[in-house]
Amino acid sequence: MMKTLIATVTTTLMLLALPAFAAHDKPAGYRYGDGSLATAPYTLEDLELLKKTVLFTGEDVKWLRASRDVLEPQAEAVLDTWYGFVGSTPHLLYYFQNKRGTPDAEYLARVRERFRQWILDTADANFDQDWLDYQYEIARRHHRVGKNRTDGATGPDHIPARYVVGLLYPVTATLKPFLANSDYSPAEIDAMHQAWTKSVLMQVILWSEPYMNRGDF
Ligand code: HEM
């Protein structure tokens, strides 16, 4: 019991102590728009139909873009919240372990930098071919076809689909207080939150492709 408590506190402190990343740098392993990515197996037309399916409209683009100025100054606090959750949830922290079975601090730090960039990219809401190709890359990085390769990590090589889909709730629910920490009205905060929820839902759907049998996506 005491051992588990010490391990949880140590991990949480370790995660919170990770260095802030300068906003203008591109994180290591970040390849959005660099022209080197595989073309996604879904098209911009598929994306348009997916947007219609989840009721994502031009209003959502507007509110995602409005959220950037609210979230960017709070990005490290948002990441502390998300990493705090993963770090204190052993069956999720497991996927950030090294081959010795302990949390891989370097892996956690490098992924955190890209996660920070992802907050900004999601708020930017530029749904073009580069964005689609990077969705496919993120999909592959959660699945055994691509996990660990970007950072040379040595731990578990695959994250089960059920956890990737399931994390949508904590990620989007915990965002709301950060959106509310702004001058926007409650209705506008709700509009930003809904837009975020729909965008993350669409991304998680796109990330599910490598997990499915051919023809099922
Ligand atoms: C809504 C669900 C999720 C979101 C929004 C999310 C978001 C992200 C983002 C933005 C990245 C970095 C992508 C990049 O390389 O540019 C990433 C990587 C990663 N995520 Fe997730 N994730 C989700 C679910 C999960 C779950 C359930 C786990 C399990 C602990 C997890 C563990 C990881 C790991 C280990 C990496 C690094 C993969 C690698 O490149 O080796 N993620 N995630």
Q: By three-state DSSP, how is residue 103 classified?
A: strand
Domain that holds residue 183: 2-211
Please report, for the domain that includes residue 189, its CATH number.
1.10.490.10
The tally of domains found in the chain comes to 1
Q: Ligand 1 mean position to 146 CA, how many Å?
A: 12
Ligand 1 site residues, Cβ closer than 6 angstroms? 29-30, 86, 92, 95-96, 111, 114-115, 118, 138, 141-142, 147-148, 150-151, 153, 159, 163-164, 167-168, 171, 200, 204
Per-residue b/e over 114-148, b at no fewer than 16 CB within 10 Å? Answer: bbbbbbebbbebebeebbbbbbbbbbbbbbeebbb
The pLDDT tens digits for 78-116 are 999 999 999 999 999 999 999 999 999 999 999 999 999
Q: Considering the domain boundaries, does residue 176 fall inside one?
A: yes
Name the residue among 177, 208, 176, 182 with its Cα closest to residue 195: 176
The pLDDT tens digits for 55-64 are 999 999 999 9
Distance, CA of 34 to CA of 119 (rounded, Å): 18
The pLDDT tens digits for 134-144 are 999 999 999 99
Q: Considering the domain boundaries, does residue 217 fall inside one?
A: no
Q: Which atom of ligand 1 is nearest the CA belonging to 93?
A: 30
Q: Could you tell me if 58 and 213 are in contact, meaning their C-beta atoms sit under 8 angstroms apart?
A: no
Q: Ligand 1 mean position to 15 CA, how many Å?
A: 15
Tell me the whole-structure pTM to 2 decimals.
Answer: 0.92
Q: Considering the domain boundaries, does residue 96 fall inside one?
A: yes
Atom 13 in ligand 1: which residue has the minimum CA distance? Answer: 138
> Which phi-psi region, left, alpha or beta, contains residue 147 (left: φ > 0; alpha: ψ -120 to 50)?
beta
